[in-house]
Amino acid sequence: MYFNSTVYGLFLIAVFAVSWLLVARRRPARFLVLLVASWFFYACWTEDGEWVGLKYLVLILGSSGLDWFVGNALHRLDRDDPETLGRRRRLLFCSLAGNLGVLGLFKYYDFFANNVSQLTGLDVPLLKWALPVGISFYTFQTLSYTIDIYRGKLAPAKNLGEFALFVAFFPQLVAGPIVRASDFLPQLENRPRLDREALHSGLFRIMEGLFKKVVIADVIGVGLVDGVFANGSQTAGLGVLLGIWGYALQIYGDFAGYSDIAIGSARLLGFRIPENFHAPYKSTSIQDFWRRWHISLSSWLRDYLYIPLGGNRKGPARTYINLAIVMLLGGLWHGAAWTFVVWGAIHGGMLGVNRWWQRRGFGTLPGKLGQVVAIVLTFHLVCLAWVFFRSRTFGEAGDVLDRLCTSGDQGWFAVPDLGYKVWFAFVCGYLLHFLPVPVKARVQALYAGLPSLVLGALWAVFFGFLAYMAVDASPFIYFQF
C-alpha cells in the first residue's frame, strides 16, 4: 500500500472518518482504531505479488512486547541504587540483543556470510530471508524508548496499547521519520481536536509530498537517472553529470516526499511527527548537510551512538574516530552492501575534514559569494558520495565516474535527449528546493485561505496533473532500507 497509490488515499480517508467522526471523544476506542488500522496497513503489504506483511507483523508485535516488558522492568528498578545496576544492564542488553539480533539476521547475515565465504572459501549457509519493510526504522524507534527509560529520561507508556501504537503508527511505520517516544506518547494524553489549521496543514503536506514523489522523483528517475546508471550506458560527460544531479534530486524528492505525506497523514489524524528535511542542498558544509538531511536518523545516531562514544569531548583524534564509526554504521544501516559502507566512509571523512577545518580557524569566503561557493562545493561533494549510494557495485560506481570524465563521441558537453517532462521536473525540482522559506510559508498560507470550493477544484486539477506527469509507479527508495 504505497503512499502514492489510490488504495492508500482511500485507506487514509476511511481511517480519518472513523477515528474522528465515530470515536473522537473516546480516547481508548480511538487509539484502538488507529492501532488496528496500523497493523492492517502493515499486514496488507505486498512484494512481487506476495502478501508478506502479515508474517512480518509478528516481528513488530514481538518487538513491541519485548520493549514494553523491558521498559516497565527498568522503570521499577531504582536507577540510583548501585545494587540494581547489574539487573538494569541485563535488561537493557535483552532489548539490544533482541532487536538488533532480529535486524542482523534479516538484514546482515547473508551479507557477512557471503563475504566470509569469499575470504575463506568456506561454504557458509545463507538464510535468503526477505527484508521486512520498515524494520530498520521501527527497530531504532523501540530501542530509543528502552534506552531513554534506562537513562531515566522517560517514563513508560501507560499501557501496552499506547506503546504498540507508538511503534506501529502507520504514517511513519515503513520509512520514518524515526519518532521518539518522548515526542509521541505525550500527544496521547491530549484531547484530540481537528481544526481548520490542522486539516489544511495536513492536506497541503500530502499535496507537497505527492508532487515531489510523482512529478519530480519518479519522472527524473525513469527519464534520466536509470539510463545514466545502467550497465552499458553510453552517456558520457555532461550527460553523466546531469544524471548525478538528477539522482540527488530524485532521492531527495522521493524520501522528502514520503516524509511530507507521513507528516501530513499524521496531522490529519491529530498527531505531529518530526520534520525530516530542511532544504539539505542549501547546506554550506557537510556538517550542515547532516543537520538538514534525514534529521530523525542523524539526531538518533548523535544521541544514541556519537555522544555515548564520547562525542567531541575526548580530543580531536577521538572525535575523528567517533565520526568515522558513526558514519560507517550509518552507511551500513542503509543497506548490507559495501557501496553503502563506502558512502558512509566518505561522509565520515568529510565530516572529519570539516571539524579539522573549523579547529584550524579557517572560514569561508565572506559575504554572499562565500555562501554560494560553500553551497556549490558542499552539493558536489554530496553528489560524489551519491554515486556510490546509487551503485550496486564498485564497478558500477567506477564506470559512472569514468564516463563523467570522458567526452564521448559527441564531446563532453553533449546532452542526451530527455524530453520536456524530465526537463520540467529537473528545473522545477531545484527551483522549489532553493525557494526562500518565507515564500513557501506564504504559499501555504494562501492555500489555507482558499474557500472550500476552490480547494476542491485545485485538488481536482492537481490529480489531473499528476496523472499527466506520472510514469510507471515505483516504490519509495527508502522502503528497501
- The domain segmentation of the chain, as residue ranges, is 57-192, 197-284+381-479, 285-363
**How sure is the predictor about 35, in pLDDT bands with cuts at 50, 70 and 90?**
very high
Q: Average pLDDT of 203-225?
A: 95
Radius of gyration of the CA atoms of the chain, in A: 23
Instruction: Round to whole Å and give the CA distance between 254 and 211.
Output: 10
Report pLDDT for 50: 76
Q: Which residues contact 208 (CB under 8 A, 6 or more apart)?
A: 257, 260, 264
CA distance 481 to 458: 35
Q: What is the pLDDT of residue 25?
A: 64
Longest Cα separation, the chain? 75
pLDDT of residue 3: 85
Q: What is the pLDDT of residues 330-359, one digit of tens each?
A: 999 999 999 999 999 999 999 999 998 888
Instruction: Look at residues 227, 247, 215 and name the one whose alpha carbon lies nearest to residue 416.
Output: 227
Rounded to the nearest 10 degrees, the angle between the axes of helix 6-17 and helix 238-268 is 20
> What pLDDT score was predicted for residue 111?
94
* Residue in the block written with cell 572525535: 319
Q: How confident is the model at residue 201 (pLDDT cuts 50, 70, 90)?
A: very high
pLDDT top residue among 481 and 109: 109
Average pLDDT over residues 398-424: 89
pLDDT reading at 90 higher than 90: yes
Q: Does residue 255 surpass a pLDDT of 90?
A: yes
Q: Is the dihedral of CA 442, 445, 451, 453 positive or negative?
A: positive
- What is the residue whose three cell numbers read 515505483? 474
pLDDT of residue 23: 66
51-68 residue pLDDT tens: 888 889 999 999 999 999
Q: Which pLDDT score, from 0 to 100, does residue 416 have?
A: 86
| Mean pLDDT score of the chain | 91
Mean local confidence (pLDDT), 438-453: 88
- The pLDDT value recorded for residue 397 is 95
Supply the DSSP string of 323-335, one letter for each residue: HHHHHHHHHHHH-
Given a contact cutoff of 8 angstroms between Cβ atoms, the answer to whether 248 and 386 are in contact is yes
In the prediction, which pLDDT does 24 show? 58
Identify the burial level of 353 via C-beta atoms within 10 angstroms of its C-beta, where 0-12 means exposed, 13-18 middle and 19 or more buried.
middle
Catalytic residues: 334
Taking the C-alpha atoms of residue 368 and residue 57, their distance in angstroms, rounded to an integer, is: 52
Strands 50-51 and 46-47: antiparallel
- CA dist., res. 256 & res. 275, Å (int): 9
For residue 253, pLDDT beyond 70: yes
